[in-house]
Amino acid sequence: MVELPDVQNQEALLPIDLDKVGLVGIVKRVKITKDGEEIILLPSISAFINLPRNMRGIHMSRSIETIEEIIEEISYRPVGSIEEFCEKLVKTLLEKHDYASNATVNMESPLIFDVKSGETGVKRQKNYVVYVKAVGERREGEIATKIFLGVSGQGMTVCPCGQEITKDYSRIMLKNRARELQISDESIEKILNLIPIASHSQRCKAKIMIEVPKEQLVGIKDLTQIIEESMSGVTQDVLKRPDEAQLIRIAHLNPKFVEDTARHIIYRSAQKFKELPDSTEIVVEVESMESVHGYNAYATKATTLGEIRKALRLFPK
């Protein structure tokens, strides 16, 4: 058999190293078994390694072989989390690509939970997106890994500025008709503090990515709860009239800017994961689909739990 040339191992045309080279958008079926329950995911997987300056290219087939092998392995030796699955991938990538010093695996998959809807408590399906990022690096003959778990979800936000403008306008209107309506200034303030004051509202998307230290787990449902509790209100696919009225009232009693939502997600994350070390990295992104503007509003923060805790200690109780 004729030996074919190894073009990838040829000298690079230009002596420039590359940070990430690999495959993107590989969709596979992945089975996770946790607490006796089987979960089937259909993730989109990306796998990268770095390329030294002297090599022309990476051996792409080794990367796709790694993904296929690990998926086959977990079919008869199940893993208990998607984090474990991605960690296996990143370690095997470095074992197969012995010329690389680091590797990265990104995974993104829809995930559906059963949730109770409205006052009826009827179970409905709700869609989220789960993310995992695994980073591997060679250190003194060993492969050190860092794993991140993330979730994106959505809710409803009500603009505080629009609400205050509407409240002030309503106050002026009531005062102009105070004699006709036979109400005092004190009564006007009581009315304005009692009834929901109109503002523009919008659907708001948020994403959390948090580092998962060894031997410690971060629950996906905990992350979705943090996102939804940081919004003005929780969106539902099915809303009967009483549920819709309640949602609108609750949301308008809890108005939030996109900045408020981002800060509340950061705060709730620090409160929820008190057992995680200060060095734990966290990234929060929030995007508000503005209803009265032709653009969206966006806020983000990349930090550590230690920095958040330090900031909160300075916050007056």
Say what the pLDDT of residue 5 is: 65
pLDDT of residue 314: 65
Residue 316 has pLDDT above 60, yes or no: no
Q: Tell me what pLDDT residue 181 has.
A: 87
* Residue 160 confidence (pLDDT): 94
Domain residue ranges of the chain, discontinuous segments joined by +: 9-139, 151-159+200-317, 161-194
* pLDDT value at 84 more than 80: yes
Most confident of 177-186, 239-248, 303-312: 303-312
Predicted local confidence at residue 119, as pLDDT: 65
- Read off the pLDDT of residues 18-54 as tens digits, 9 standing for 90 and up: 999 999 999 999 988 876 778 889 999 999 999 999 9
The pLDDT confidence band at residue 9, using thresholds 50, 70 and 90, is low
Q: What's the whole-model pTM score?
A: 0.88
Read off the tokens for 122.
């009827």
Residues 6+ apart with CB under 8 A from 64: 23, 26
Rounded distance between C-alpha atoms, residue 271 and residue 294, angstroms: 35
Instruction: Please say if the pLDDT value at position 126 is more than 90.
Output: no
Query: Could you read off the pLDDT of 177-231 as tens digits, one per residue?
Result: 988 888 999 999 998 988 889 999 999 999 999 999 876 778 899 999 999 999 9
Residue 169 three-state SS: helix
Assess whether pLDDT exceeds 70 at residue 118: no
Look over the chain and give the mean of its residue pLDDT values, rounded to a whole number. Answer: 90
3-class secondary-structure state, position 239: coil
Please report, rounded to a whole number, the percentage of residues in the chain having pLDDT higher than 70: 94
DSSP code at position 81: -
Q: What angle separates helix 82-96 from helix 60-76, to the nearest 10 degrees?
A: 140
pLDDT confidence tier of residue 135, bands split at 50, 70 and 90? very high
pLDDT at residue 310 tops 60: yes
Same fold, 9-139 and 151-159+200-317: yes
Distance CA 160, CA 199 (A): 8
DSSP reduced 3-state for 178: helix
Given this model, what pLDDT does residue 238 score?
A: 82
Q: What is the mean pLDDT of residues 248-257?
A: 93
Q: Which fold has domain 151-159+200-317?
A: Urate Oxidase (3.10.270)
pLDDT at residue 313, as a whole number: 86
pLDDT of residue 122 exceeding 80, the answer is no
User: What was the pLDDT predicted at 115?
Assistant: 80
Q: Which fold has domain 9-139?
A: Urate Oxidase (3.10.270)
Q: Is residue 101 very low, low, confident or very high in pLDDT (cuts 50, 70, 90)?
A: very high
Who wins on pLDDT, 7 or 39? 39
Instruction: Report the distance separating Cα 266 and Cα 280, nearest Å.
Output: 13
Angle (CA) 96-100-102 rounded to 5° is: 105
Banded pLDDT at 78 (limits 50, 70, 90): confident
Q: What is the pLDDT of residue 194?
A: 87
Q: Looking at residue 244, what is its pLDDT?
A: 87
pLDDT classification of 283: cutoffs 50, 70, 90: very high
